[in-house]
Amino acid sequence: MKLNIQNIFTSELPSDSNLENSRRQVENAVFSYVKPKKTKKPEVLHISPEMANKLGISNDELKSEFFKNIVTGNEIYPNTTPYAMCYGGHQFGNWAGQLGDGRAINLFEIEHQNKNWKVQLKGAGETPYSRTADGLAVLRSSVREYLCAEAMFHLNVPTTRSLSLSLSGDEVLRDVLYDGNPAYEKGAIVSRISPSFLRFGNFEIFTARKDIKNLKKLVNYTIKHHFAHLGKPSKENYIHFFKEVSERTLKMIIDWQRVGFVHGVMNTDNMSILGLTIDYGPYGWLEGFDFGWTPNTTDRQHKRYRYGNQPNIGLWNLYQLANTLYPIIEEVEPLNTILEQYKIDFEKQSLQMMKSKLGLIISDEDDLKLIQDLEENLQLVETDMTIFFRKLSNFSDEKTGFKLIKDAFYDVENISDDIKNKWNAWFKKYTDRLAIERISSKERKEKMDLINPKYVLRNYMSQMAIDEADKGNYTLINELFQLLKKPYAEQPENEKWFAKRPEWARNKVGCSMLSCSS
Ligand code: AMP
Ligand code: MG
């Protein structure tokens, strides 16, 4: 396996002079050199061939012992120096100090077809940033991250990618419900890929420590390699840099809202500087449309990271990044202008996104009201978001509207006349609104079906794949992986996955309740 290895990150940025793998505060450095832990009996369970192809790894090489050893941390690729990054972060609204790659180890960077990719293992052992934890990951959370990152990519949502999912062969102790009942689970390692794994927190840690020299180095590096179109680093370009991060963050979140993805832990250490979805932990997919829903039981009380609050939290996180960059910009006004613009852009893009979900192209002054009424209706009784919008592309008139979307209701037998009337009233408005559009209903359907996915990684689907994988059967992982490559396509043979969450999954751990334990 001959890879085109680069060392740009490690050669241009300051490293920790301490080479010991001991837990500590790491200052004056962007990263620490650290080696992955050897594992007992590594076994590759699944590979993303699309991603491997982008890295220049052939199908034969994917089958090799060498590949297996690399992606499980059991062998170091020649002339590479794995490392863990230092970052801080605001967790649930509070500054948490140094966090860092506690269980992520970056192996190397590959340049292929003019693209630079970082290869990182998650769950490959302790690092100086592991704090009180073990640096490992379990199979359940690894299956979830592995499948979801690739699913998001195919949904056209900006994201980090997955290369491989492996068992380590080691056992890992976890207390899933945090109720004092820890149990051993299978250890696993995901190899994941991104042009950069830098987070808001990588920048925040320097400003928090008043280390403006290193902050500047890191910002300059980021602009040079990831925002090169902005030109040479300068005060003015630091402002443009912030503007672009703000725009990318908003775009990502609008996409989350569009497909019904709830990240679950939007702490600033989980916000990518490239505006990519990163760190798939206790995330979830909306089943019933509900602005108040969060899958994360750790956030059950305040629901800070609930579906409807994601755009606000994006802005809150950008405020933290603005504060972080202030020492090298030294002007408040341009930063405030950008943050104000986020709000304006959000209103505009959110409306645009919802219009596209409804197949509306031209502008009408009542569009916002039409959408607000719809969102109210969707929350009257439990109504499946994915099924509703997908079915809506076959809408013809208010007489058949209710029948068309009936399947989206979880308890269809008990829908009151009052609710039916509200739906019929909305369908009437929608019919009238569609009448002023200029495209045919066939064209509208085609457009809507490219925006409203037919297949998403519903929470119970991952859980079924996990339950099987726990017993040593990995076929469902592959079935879901293949299914989610074409989320917008009709796949008649896979119609069973275009279905509401089954009742057994309603209150099951892993399906509707997820903790940060992983
Ligand atoms: P998260 O909210 O899961 O993204 O993690 C927050 C912080 O905890 C990050 O610094 C992680 O690296 C660290 N962390 C989470 N799980 C572990 C683990 N099992 N071992 C070491 N560090 C961990
Ligand atoms: Mg994280």
Please tell me whether residues 164 and 30 are part of one structural domain.
yes
Ligand 1 binding pocket includes 174 (Cβ within 6 Å): no
In a domain, 490, yes or no: no
Question: Can you tell me whether residue 367 is helix, strand or coil?
Answer: helix
pLDDT of residue 128: 98
Q: What's the 413 CA to ligand 2 centre distance in angstroms? A: 42
Please tell me whether residues 346 and 392 are part of one structural domain.
no
Position in ligand 1 atom list of the atom nearest CA 137:
19
Ligand 1 binding pocket includes 265 (Cβ within 6 Å): yes
Total domain count, the chain: 3
Structure tokens at 114: 């003019």
C-alpha 202/C-alpha 270 separation (Å) is 10
pLDDT of residue 511: 85
- Residue where one domain finishes, among candidates 159, 176, 200: 200
pLDDT of residue 513: 82
Structure tokens at 12: 């241009």
Please tell me whether residues 236 and 351 are part of one structural domain.
yes
258: containing domain: 210-356
Please tell me whether residues 256 and 112 are part of one structural domain.
no
Is residue 364 flagged as an active site residue?
no
Please tell me whether residues 438 and 315 are part of one structural domain.
no
| Helical H segments across 73-211, by residue range | 139-154, 200-208
pLDDT of residue 188: 98
In a domain, 504, yes or no: no
The residue whose CA has the least distance to atom 15 of ligand 1 is 102
Please tell me whether residues 365 and 238 are part of one structural domain.
no
- Residue where one domain finishes, among candidates 449, 470, 496: 449
Please tell me whether residues 106 and 166 are part of one structural domain.
yes
Q: Which amino acid is at 177?
A: L
Q: Are 252 and 277 in contact (CB under 8 A)?
A: yes
C-alpha 300/C-alpha 320 separation (Å) is 24
Please tell me whether residues 137 and 254 are part of one structural domain.
no
Please tell me whether residues 241 and 294 are part of one structural domain.
yes
pLDDT of residue 509: 86
In a domain, 470, yes or no: no
Q: What's the 149 CA to ligand 2 centre distance in angstroms? A: 14
Please tell me whether residues 169 and 316 are part of one structural domain.
no
Please tell me whether residues 73 and 174 are part of one structural domain.
yes
In a domain, 454, yes or no: no
In a domain, 514, yes or no: no
Residues 6+ apart with CB under 8 A from 482: none
Please tell me whether residues 87 and 159 are part of one structural domain.
yes
In a domain, 294, yes or no: yes
pLDDT of residue 507: 86
pTM to 2 decimal places? 0.98
Q: What's the 455 CA to ligand 2 centre distance in angstroms? A: 26
C-alpha 337/C-alpha 329 separation (Å) is 14
Structure tokens at 340: 């104000």
Q: Are 474 and 147 in contact (CB under 8 A)?
A: no
Structure tokens at 155: 């949904």
Choose the residue to mutate in 99, 121, 199, 304 for probing ligand 1, maximizing ligand atoms within 8 Å of C-beta.
99
The residue whose CA has the least distance to atom 6 of ligand 1 is 99
- The model's pLDDT over 311-323, given as tens digits with 9 standing for 90+, comes to 999 999 999 999 9
pLDDT of residue 512: 77
pLDDT of residue 516: 83
Which is the catalytic residue, given 16, 101, 255, 269?
269
Spell out, as residue ranges, where the chain has pLDDT lower than 50.
none
pLDDT of residue 517: 85
In a domain, 401, yes or no: yes
The residue whose CA has the least distance to atom 2 of ligand 1 is 265
In a domain, 455, yes or no: no
Q: Are 174 and 183 in contact (CB under 8 A)?
A: yes
Tabulate helix, strand, coil % of the chain (nearest 5): 45, 15, 40
- Residue where one domain finishes, among candidates 200, 234, 249: 200
C-alpha 260/C-alpha 291 separation (Å) is 10
